[in-house]
Structure formats: C-alpha cells, structure tokens
Copies of this chain bind each other. A is one copy, B any other.
C-alpha cells in the first residue's frame, strides 16, 4: 500500500475540517482522489467487511471471492469446517489462483506453475524449486475472518478492531433467524454511479421515504418522525408493540424498537459501528413483501403465526440486512472508485425451501428490489449534484436526519483519528 505523504495527510486533514456541524459534507469529500485513498486505507482496510453468507460455502473446498480495491480474497471452508480468508495471490509470481468468482476445489492449484496450497493456505507442492527455501514461509497470506451466525466478515487490516462487541451485540438477536441454516435464493449485483458515502447517507434517513418508497412505507413505521407522528400512527404502533411484547417476550423475539423513526445508529461518540434490533411491522404485514403475506417457509426458530416484525442488522462500512420471518435480505457495498459503488443484494430462505415449490422469486424480490432501485437512482442524482462547483452543503433536519449526522460524524472521526 502506498502510504500517504505528510503533505497529503495535511491536505486531507484540512479537507476534513471543512465540514460545518449539522450540515452535509463539502464537495471535496465526494470529489477528491486523496479523500478516496484515505478512506480505503483508514476505513475500508481498517475495519470489518461483510463478505457473504456461510451458506454460500456449505462443504469443505467450497469458496467464493470478495474483491476490494485491487485485492481479491478467497473465502473458503476448510476440511475442519472453518471459514478461512486467503488472499487470492500465489506466493510465487503473484498470479491469482482462483479465476472464477465461486467454485469448489480440493486444493488450490495456481494455474501458472501449479504451486499447490491446502484449503487452510499452507503450501503443499512446488515442483521445480531449488533446495534451501523455506516452504513453510510461503503459504497463502491470510486475512482476518469471523463468522457470525452465518454471516462472514473479513478484515484486511493487520490489526483489526475488536470484533467481540459486535458479535455480542448481534449474535443473540440474529440466532433465531437461522441464517446458518439458510440458502441463497437470489443474488443481484448493481453498479451504482455514486460515492459509497452517499449510499449510506441515503440508508440512514427515511425523510425521503414518503414519496420515493410507496411500497416500503406501507409496511413500516419508521418513516414517521417526531414532527409528523399523528395520533392514528402512534396508536397503531402502541398496539402492535404491546401485542408483540405479550406474545414474544419469553422467546426473546419481542420488538426492541418501540418508537417511530429509525433506530439511532451509528454512535460516533462511542465508536459503535454495529447494531441490531427488532422493528415492528404495520398491522397486517407478516413479511416485507408487497402485500405483507409470507413468500417462503418460516426461517430459523420462528413459529406460526410469526408476527415478529423484522430483524435489522447493520455494520459499517459495508453491510445491512432486513430479515422477515420467511426471508432475509443482505446488502453489501463495495467502492470501486470515487464515484462508483458495486452493491450486492442477497436474498436468503430456509435451507430446505425449494424454488417453485416453496417460494417464488416473482413474489419475494419486488419489495426490496424496487426499494433498492429507487434508492440507487436517488444516490446517482445526488452524485450528479455534488459534483457541481455550486454545491454547498445544506442543513440537516434534526427531526429526520439525525442518523445521517451520526454517520457523518462517525466517518469524520474514523478519518481524523487515523490521520492523527
């Protein structure tokens, strides 16, 4: 990694200082290559990244790749059943080892000179090399990896932040969803011409939901904020919340978000970059679908009638998930440039569910696919606008954009503390 020079660090520091409290980010944060390089180093290579679901690689030798910023990481299940994260780079001449984005292998054989590595990365065979070299030093480089209830996270950092608090906060909430006993129903990749922060900014407020997300707002309460919470909504929310408490408290499945508006996240003052909560759905909605009806068999530990709202999880800088009782949708962000983000959405169902028989993608996909595409268009519009020299960051709504402000403060804190 090419380190930033002292002059570049100073320039970056001055740029970060341009943000006015309570306002959006200034133009250079979306427009300066140096900012992007800093983000890659300090945030994306510094933290934990969602790579995919462990159910994508059920058997030893199954693997998929996660590519970021020139790097390619192999997520593979080894013979002991553990997920390993290995850099997809031969230790000999540097060829990639796995050409396909996913597959199943017994051992990793470099296509160039057939150096051969075990599933845990150690070097097994290197025909043609001279004596006197230390084979044990030439296994595949490892990245840090953690599995969390069927979700796989990697860190490209030598010294990643402690994953344990994230695990403790999320695992108990996630366990009943049974993501470890799931299967992929559908993966869709989007190429969105917007800076990754704009995608998060969009995700961190529902001020835009009323007009932009007609499907989403029918199912949820969280677009109502303190300034527009009317009596009817408050009453309905109270009813739903109370019923949930009465019915599900014992099993730990009662909703934990009992207010309108989005759960507060992240927490820049305590550097909390992960969270999970259970959020009520509108009466009549058992699942985040167009009509609120189930579209697949129940997942995990849920039992009929599973009016357990939605489980929501998120981890900065690249992951969020909305899980209904019958299906679960993960979103993974990957910057591929200053103004371009690759976004992968993964729909999961119970591992025993069979397509056509137990579920129908035409019924399952629209809710989140429509909501997502509405958001990507918004992000592209915003990128077009912040490109302008005439862009000046406006004031944020304290009622509706509190989480956006939290996100921006978290972002600035990460960057600033890395620069020192």
Contact = CB atoms under 8 A, between A and B. Distances in A.
Interface of A: 1-2, 24, 28, 32, 45, 69-72, 87-97, 99, 111-114, 128-130, 133, 138, 141, 143, 156, 201, 207-208, 211-212, 225, 227-228, 378, 381-382, 384-395, 397-400
Contact of A96 (B71, B87, B385): B385
A208 B24 contact: no
A384 B133 contact: no
Given A225-B128, A394-B90, A397-B130, A389 B71 contact: yes
Contact of A95 (B382, B389, B400): B382
A384 to B, nearest CB: 5
A31 to B, nearest CB: 8
15 contacts: A45-B389, A69-B389, A71-B389, A89-B391, A93-B394, A94-B394, A97-B385, A111-B211, A111-B378, A113-B207, A128-B225, A129-B395, A138-B395, A143-B390, A156-B389
B93 A201 contact: yes
Given A70-B389, A89-B385, A95-B385, A397 B28 contact: no
Contacts of A392: 91, 141
Contacts of A90: 385, 394
Identify the interface centre among A91, A94, A130, A143: most chain B CB within 10 Å of its CB. A94
A45 B389 CA distance: 10
Contacts of A384: 72, 95-96
Give the oligomeric copy count.
Answer: 3
Main secondary structure of the interface of A (DSSP, over half): loop
Contact of A394 (B91, B208, B386): B91
Given A112-B382, A208-B112, A385-B95, A390 B129 contact: no
B389 A1 contact: yes
Contacts of A388: 70-72, 87-89, 94
A69 B391 CA distance: 13
A392 B141 CA distance: 9
Contacts of A71: 387-390
A5 to B, nearest CB: 10
Given A94-B391, A391-B89, A397 B128 contact: yes
Given A92-B394, A130-B398, A141-B390, 14 more contacts: A70-B389, A72-B384, A90-B385, A90-B394, A95-B384, A96-B384, A97-B385, A112-B212, A112-B378, A112-B381, A128-B225, A129-B399, A138-B395, A141-B392
Contacts of A96: 381-382, 384-385
Contacts of A227: 128, 130
Given A227-B128, A394-B93, A113 B208 contact: yes
A354 to B, nearest CB: 37
Contact of A399 (B128, B228, B386, B394): B128
